[in-house]
Structure 1
Amino acid sequence: MLLGMLLWWSVKENSVHLVPMDANQHIAYISDIGAHQLQPLFIAMGTTTVVSFTTVFATERWLRHRGTIARNTSWFQKLLSTLAIVFALIGMIGLIILTCKNNIHYSTTHDACLVVFIAGYIISAIFVCWEYQRLGIHYRQHRILRISFWIKLAFIFIELGLAIAFGILSHQKRYNPAAVCEWVISFIYTFYVWSYAIDFIPAVRTQHYASKETEIDMAEGMEAESRMRGYPGGVPQEQATYSSTSVTRGQESRNF
């Protein structure tokens, strides 16, 4: 979507000066382009992107609950995951309203929603990083968690730095570098969305969505049940007992 809008403005429209661009502004904001003929596309694609991304958050939470990917090991990790989803929803709402309220007729609302969108997803990413850091302590063998953690941490610092730069440049009315910052923020956000594909690699590799953690949990559960039934040695002792009992009964029936 972003690339299409940029190409439409720079190639098809030959970088035309759009309302509400400043007189000295030569690089259009995304919102400047999205406020005109492309607003329906801006709304549709923006909504599709954030709704899909928020669905990814919910799916990730569900897969962790099932054990398809590394399970949360504490209620605190689940809380972090929930907060990440909540702030992603806030960011999603911000972007949807932002695309509907163009910066020509609703500039104040548009700018406020831009702040909500950026802040929502940065805060969401902070909670995701925090959760992954805690998961990494318990699942040191899962290299994917470390990779995903560092990607998301880099996103936080880069996006936060660019957002601050964007705010300062806009306040100073240096609209061209501010517009560059906005485009870079948006493209990095796109890569951030795609970074979640890494988190689902274990689920794709696992047959019938049964992860190693799930199998271990099942084995531990069977061991515990065997001990509760009076077999201190667990499943092997119970199986051996049943096997010897079956052999004894077979011999008795033949002798009879």
Structure 2
Amino acid sequence: MFGLSYWFLPAFAGCCWLGTLLGLLINWVATGRPQYAWTGAGQTAPYISDIAASKWGYPLFIAGSATTVVVFNISFVAERWLRHNARLAKNYRTSEKILSGFAIAFAIIGGIALILLTVFDTRRHHNIHITCLFIFIAGYIISAVFICAEYQRLGVLYREHRILRSSFWLKLAFIFVELGLAIAFGVLQRGRVGRALNPSAYVEWIISLIYIFYVWSFIIDFLPATQTRHREDRFELPGPLRAREEEGEMRMQEQEGGNNLGGPVYTGGAWNERGSQGSEVPMYGQAGYRGTAGEVVPPSRNF
């Protein structure tokens, strides 16, 4: 039903991240669940970063993470381009375009942080790794906030398109869930040792898995683009803006119609070369008005 289109970008990015996590976890289990020298004493549940710091996990984590964030960030740019060309609900207001720009910027920041945390592994660069981890989480949460703000404004204009509303609520849920989990992760990890680190490791895995569903939530955003390949099928001016535009055209036509019928034209307060203002400008008689052609008519009085 749906041809291979832009929705493939977030679908592929999410699958890459899922494949990376599964590859790390399955290999760790297959090799006998080893305890690494850089894990906490008594810790039985490994962090993603612990497995990724191993000899075989390091290249897998870098390749999988880099592919995920590059493709996912391309999705942000593609969405902006599709909205600009009315393949998706178009941004007509400057505020929406600014919000979209901030969403892209913070997504790029989060993506760069993810790549850096894979390079600076927890075994050799623990502090840098943790810092990049929080920047990664914060970057995508802030990006989601700007996306929700943009979609809320789009939803006001495109009330008939339920995809915007569904996507808004999905991303809003991601914001609250990931923010809560990030706080829990920081609290559990702070000052904990040994087996007490296990809950923190579980939370890290949950955060990473929820990130997959956030990436996949963009699939529904791209679905309308499968139906708007042809120019005649693209999004039209939304109802509220169309009504405003039609009202402006009607007023213009009424003004033009009044002038064509020989109606009076007022200067609206502009001064003429003699120093008169507004309706004080002398008007010469025309058909249908008092006075004959060429006769000066006394100025009207505005009260």
TM superposition score category, shorter chain reference: 0.7 to 0.9
Looking at structure 2, the residues matched to 5 and 131 of structure 1 have their Cα atoms a distance apart, in angstroms, of: 36
Task: Quote the residue 2:130 is aligned against.
Answer: 111
Q: Structure 1 residues 209 and 158, CA, compared in 2 at 3 Å: closer, same or farther? A: farther
Looking at structure 2, the residues matched to 206 and 71 of structure 1 have their Cα atoms a distance apart, in angstroms, of: 12
1:182 CA displacement: 0.3
- 1:113-128 map, 5 Å: 113-128=132-147
Larger radius of gyration: 2
Looking at structure 2, the residues matched to 214 and 48 of structure 1 have their Cα atoms a distance apart, in angstroms, of: 35
Looking at structure 2, the residues matched to 95 and 210 of structure 1 have their Cα atoms a distance apart, in angstroms, of: 41
Looking at structure 2, the residues matched to 117 and 231 of structure 1 have their Cα atoms a distance apart, in angstroms, of: 55
Q: Structure 1 residues 145 and 20, CA, compared in 2 at 3 Å: closer, same or farther? A: same
Q: Structure 1 residues 150 and 215, CA, compared in 2 at 3 Å: closer, same or farther? A: closer
Per-residue Cα deviation, 1:97-129 (whole angstroms, up to 9, x for no partner): 100111111111111110110000000001001
Looking at structure 2, the residues matched to 196 and 148 of structure 1 have their Cα atoms a distance apart, in angstroms, of: 8
- 1:123-202 map, 5 Å: 123-173=142-192, 174-202=196-224
3-state SS of the aligned residue for 1:213? coil
8 A Cα contact 1:67 1:211, kept in partner: no
2:106 is the counterpart of 1:87: yes
Looking at structure 2, the residues matched to 81 and 69 of structure 1 have their Cα atoms a distance apart, in angstroms, of: 13
Looking at structure 1, the residues matched to 160 and 220 of structure 2 have their Cα atoms a distance apart, in angstroms, of: 16
Correspondent of 1:2 among 11, 21, 31: 21
1:214 CA displacement: 4.1
3-state SS of the aligned residue for 2:179? helix
1:61 CA displacement: 0.4
8 A Cα contact 1:98 1:109, kept in partner: yes
The amino acid across from 1:92 in the alignment is G
Looking at structure 1, the residues matched to 53 and 238 of structure 2 have their Cα atoms a distance apart, in angstroms, of: 54
Q: Structure 1 residues 200 and 209, CA, compared in 2 at 3 Å: closer, same or farther? A: farther
1:207 CA displacement: 3.6
Cα RMSD (Å) of the superposition?
Answer: 2.1
Task: Quote the residue 1:23 is aligned against.
Answer: 41
Correspondent of 1:35 among 53, 70, 75: 53
Task: Quote the residue 2:77 is aligned against.
Answer: 58
Per-residue Cα deviation, 1:158-196 (whole angstroms, up to 9, x for no partner): 100000000000004131000000000001101111110
3-state SS of the aligned residue for 1:129? helix
After TM superposition, what 4+ stretches of structure 1 lie above 3 angstroms from structure 2? 209-212, 214-217
Looking at structure 2, the residues matched to 151 and 211 of structure 1 have their Cα atoms a distance apart, in angstroms, of: 27
Looking at structure 1, the residues matched to 197 and 162 of structure 2 have their Cα atoms a distance apart, in angstroms, of: 42
1:208 CA displacement: 2.5
2:95 is the counterpart of 1:73: no
TM-score, normalisation: structure 2: 0.70
1:9 CA displacement: 0.9
Looking at structure 2, the residues matched to 207 and 32 of structure 1 have their Cα atoms a distance apart, in angstroms, of: 46
1:211 CA displacement: 4.1
Percent identical? 51
3-state SS of the aligned residue for 2:81? helix
8 A Cα contact 2:48 2:205, kept in partner: yes
1:143 CA displacement: 0.3
Looking at structure 2, the residues matched to 151 and 172 of structure 1 have their Cα atoms a distance apart, in angstroms, of: 34
Provide the aligned length of Structure 1 versus Structure 2.
Answer: 223
Per-residue Cα deviation, 1:37-68 (whole angstroms, up to 9, x for no partner): 11111001100001111000000000000011
